[in-house]
Amino acid sequence: MSRLFEPWSLGQLSLPNRIVIAPMCQYSAHDGTPGDWHRVHLGHLALSGAGLLILEATAISPEGRISPQDLGLYSDANEAALADLVRMIRSFAPIALALQLSHAGRKGSSRAPWDGGTQIPAGAPGGWRAEAPSALPHAAGEEAPAALNAAGLARVKQGFVDAAVRAQRAGLQGIELHAAHGYLLHQFLSPLANAREDAYGGSPANRMRFPLEVFDAVKAAVSVPVWVRVSATDWVDGGWDLAQTVDFGRELARRGCAALHVSSGGVSPAQKIPLGPGYQLPLARAVREAVPLPVIGVGLITEPAQAEAAIASGDADAVALARAMLYDPRWPWHAAAALGAQVTAPPPYWRSAPREAKGLFAGMHFGQR
């Protein structure tokens, strides 16, 4: 029996298999509100047969966006459109839905990747002054962000709470806090971005303080599972590393975190990442062996046998796919066919299974005229 297609639990969320669709920014929202593109994009992914779909990084405030086109959850209009999107998906797909909440920090006010991804100056159309733990720009030549003061920290923390409450009201079944890829919570963790001299900077315990406060506040405000995406290493000497990630994970476990989604990098252009198939799975395994939490592994996982081996060998409890799902939104169907497993699919598609994949779709039982 395929290990990849075994059921598993993420907090109180019961999932039919161990395939997770990772959050993938689309840079296609309008004032934070999803539109027709998201209906088509997420509709494809909702029919994939994966166990869990995590919606893209969703900003908790306008200044928390990466780009002016980021998805957001800071207004009634954002919430209403998201709730309608969830309702639409629920009408045809049983897939579990979660949302990644994020604040871009010093990486905010940027152009979409296909427009170069460069910073938009605060005085330029569409631009704003980014905010961060410290007034340190992400890259040379960029404008320095505003360092968050006590009032700013309280505002950001409340923004996470308010967005989490909106997400739960809109029908999302889980919340992932984005503390990876060089965005705000990761910026607090990494000494490469955090030069504070107060209780939120300096020692590892101090640098973890604000992300842990945000986690505690969000978890207290909602009843759905809450988990965290982390960058296990900055891939830069003197930066955030695996040992600190383990300590952070243990603190999260003590606070009732549902899982860790283990990625890496993003906080510095100086990073040197050894890219290759499954390159982040050793990090996931190390975290899983040291922290008493389920671990979602990610990183150039593209083939069914590769994903199966990651679960069977103990690298991770589940695997998350991103680009592979964009390239092939039916990846879980094809993986199930290759591994002799079953997936859920809508009845209008049942007749699409090839002869060699008989029994692919769970619940299929009809004749053909």
Measure the CA–CA gap between 201 and 194, rounded to whole angstroms.
Answer: 6
Measure the CA–CA gap between 137 and 133, rounded to whole angstroms.
Answer: 11
The pLDDT assigned to 356 comes to 85
Asked whether residue 36 is domain-assigned, the answer is yes
pLDDT at 364 > cutoff 70: no
pLDDT at 88 > cutoff 70: yes
Q: Which domain holds residue 276?
A: 8-357
Contacts 24+ apart (CB under 8 A), 82-91: 82/34, 82/166, 82/167, 82/170, 82/172, 83/169, 83/170, 83/171, 85/34, 85/38, 85/39, 85/42, 86/170, 86/171, 86/172, 87/171, 88/39, 88/43, 89/42, 89/43, 89/46, 90/171
Looking at this protein, which amino acid is placed at residue 297? G
Type and span of the H or E element at 9? strand 8-10
Asked whether residue 362 is domain-assigned, the answer is no
As a whole number, mean pLDDT of residues 188-199 equals 98
Note the pLDDT tens digit of each residue in 227-236: 999 999 999 9
Token readout for 159 is 């923004």
The answer to whether residues 246 and 230 touch, using CB atoms and an 8 Å cutoff, is: no
Measure the CA–CA gap between 64 and 183, rounded to whole angstroms.
Answer: 9
pLDDT at 307 > cutoff 80: yes
- Verify whether residue 27 is a known catalytic residue: no
Q: What do you get for the CA distance between the two ends of the chain, in Å? A: 33
User: What's the chain's average pLDDT?
Assistant: 96
Measure the CA–CA gap between 199 and 209, rounded to whole angstroms.
Answer: 8
Minimal CA–CA distance to 43: which of 51, 33, 53?
53
Predicted confidence band of residue 358 (pLDDT cuts 50, 70, 90): confident
Say how many domains are in the chain: 1
Q: Say whether pTM exceeds 0.85.
A: yes
pLDDT at 204 > cutoff 90: yes
pLDDT at 75 > cutoff 70: yes
Minimal CA–CA distance to 226: which of 260, 296, 159, 175?
175
The pLDDT assigned to 369 comes to 43
Note the pLDDT tens digit of each residue in 245-278: 999 999 999 999 999 999 999 999 999 999 999 9
The answer to whether residues 293 and 316 touch, using CB atoms and an 8 Å cutoff, is: no
The share of the chain scoring above pLDDT 70, in percent, equals 98
Asked whether residue 295 is domain-assigned, the answer is yes
Asked whether residue 347 is domain-assigned, the answer is yes
Asked whether residue 366 is domain-assigned, the answer is no
Predicted confidence band of residue 355 (pLDDT cuts 50, 70, 90): confident
Measure the CA–CA gap between 364 and 341, rounded to whole angstroms.
Answer: 14
Asked whether residue 278 is domain-assigned, the answer is yes
Minimal CA–CA distance to 286: which of 260, 319, 267?
260
Asked whether residue 142 is domain-assigned, the answer is yes
User: What CATH number should be reported for the domain holding residue 86?
Assistant: 3.20.20.70
The pLDDT assigned to 368 comes to 47
As a whole number, mean pLDDT of residues 160-173 equals 98
- Catalytic residue, chosen from 27, 74, 183, 200, is 183
Asked whether residue 1 is domain-assigned, the answer is no
Measure the CA–CA gap between 191 and 114, rounded to whole angstroms.
Answer: 30
